[in-house]
């Protein structure tokens, strides 16, 4: 496949579990740095490389990486709607609303029925105010929210307007609830897990998350950072002799 990383490419990457978005982008940078399109009149040029929307380390799925002049489209790409699949665990919460921290509170779930779960999902449809997690990268007075959280300091996080366009319950195996969500930019699925548990007079936290789509870009068309890197490695002596 022919690439022009200087004039710009939009790369679809399937971010693995436990990788940060920063690690995934660095893997892509390392893979493309020797590409012929970056040699201009005998000089190596270093294109810009950035991603359109961070994924937490415990989330997998579509990460759009832009290079060169295509980095100018990052804000546009970030504004597109997102689709996710994943699971909530009812009956317990964590400080970060996912599995990064241990459970801090346990709640009853015996009163929760399948109908209550499905009705709760309907209630979250539409435009609403959502408070991001304290363990997040939102800015509060010039500092990231997670910096306050890690220092044990109190910080007020303002709510923001988000839109849940689709919220489908795809499976209920108590206390685990599987879902598919289509939402606007800026929506925190971890916060939705917290609010979902509260709406059921219980607690909940996010136990898995996969981003499957950004706008018209789909994870089925993406490759892992490792697979992308292998495309640019010279063939081994054994494969060359086959």
Give, rounded to a whole angstrom, the gap between the first and last alpha carbons of the chain.
Answer: 21
Show Cβ contacts of residue 136 under 8 Å, excluding neighbours closer than 6 positions. 144, 145, 146, 157, 188, 190
Q: Which domains does the chain have, with CATH numbers?
A: 10-79+218-240 (no CATH), 82-214 (3.30.2350.10)
Marked catalytic residue, from 14, 56, 98, 195: 56
Q: What is the pLDDT of residues 6-25, one digit of tens each?
A: 888 999 999 999 999 999 99
Per-residue pLDDT, 39: 63
Query: Is position 238 annotated as part of the catalytic site?
Result: no
Q: What is the pLDDT of residues 81-110, one digit of tens each?
A: 999 999 999 999 999 999 999 999 999 999
pLDDT, tens only, 183-214: 999 999 999 999 999 999 999 999 999 999 99
Q: Beta strand 82-90 with 176-183: parallel, antiparallel or unpaired?
A: antiparallel
pLDDT at 236 over 80: no
pLDDT tens across 26-45, in order? 999 988 877 766 666 566 77
Look up the pTM and report it.
Answer: 0.89
24 sits in which H/E element: helix 21-32
CA distance 231 to 242: 18
Instruction: Give the per-residue pLDDT at 232.
Output: 73
pLDDT tens digit sequence for 128-186: 999 988 877 788 777 787 787 787 877 788 899 999 999 999 999 999 999 999 999 99
In angstroms, the Cα distances linking 161 to 81, 94, 174, 184, 235 are: 14, 24, 30, 9, 50
């Amino acid at each position: 496949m022919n690439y022009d990383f200087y004039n710009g490419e939009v790369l679809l990457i399937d971010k693995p579990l436990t990788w940060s978005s920063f690690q995934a982008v660095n893997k892509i940078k390392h893979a493309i740095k020797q590409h012929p399109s970056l040699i201009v009149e005998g000089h190596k040029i270093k294109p810009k490389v950035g991603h359109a929307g961070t994924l937490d380390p415990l989330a997998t799925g579509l990460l759009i990486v832009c290079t060169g002049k295509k980095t100018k489209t990052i804000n546009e790409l970030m504004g597109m709607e997102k689709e996710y699949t994943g699971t909530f665990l009812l009956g317990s919460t964590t400080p970060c609303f996912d599995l990064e921290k241990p459970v801090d509170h346990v709640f009853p779930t015996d009163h929760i029925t399948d109908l209550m779960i499905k009705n709760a999902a309907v209630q979250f449809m539409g435009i609403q105010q959502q408070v991001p997690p304290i363990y997040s990268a939102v800015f509060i007075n010039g500092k990231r929210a997670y910096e306050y959280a890690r220092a044990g300091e109190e910080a007020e996080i303002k709510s923001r307007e988000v839109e849940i366009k689709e919220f489908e319950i795809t499976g209920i195996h108590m206390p685990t609830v599987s879902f598919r969500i289509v939402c606007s930019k800026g929506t925190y699925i971890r916060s939705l897990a917290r609010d979902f548990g509260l709406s059921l007079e219980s607690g909940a936290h996010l136990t898995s998350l996969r981003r499957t789509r950004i706008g018209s870009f789909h994870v089925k068309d993406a490759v892992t950072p490792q697979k992308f890197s292998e495309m640019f490695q010279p063939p081994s002596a054994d494969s060359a002799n086959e």
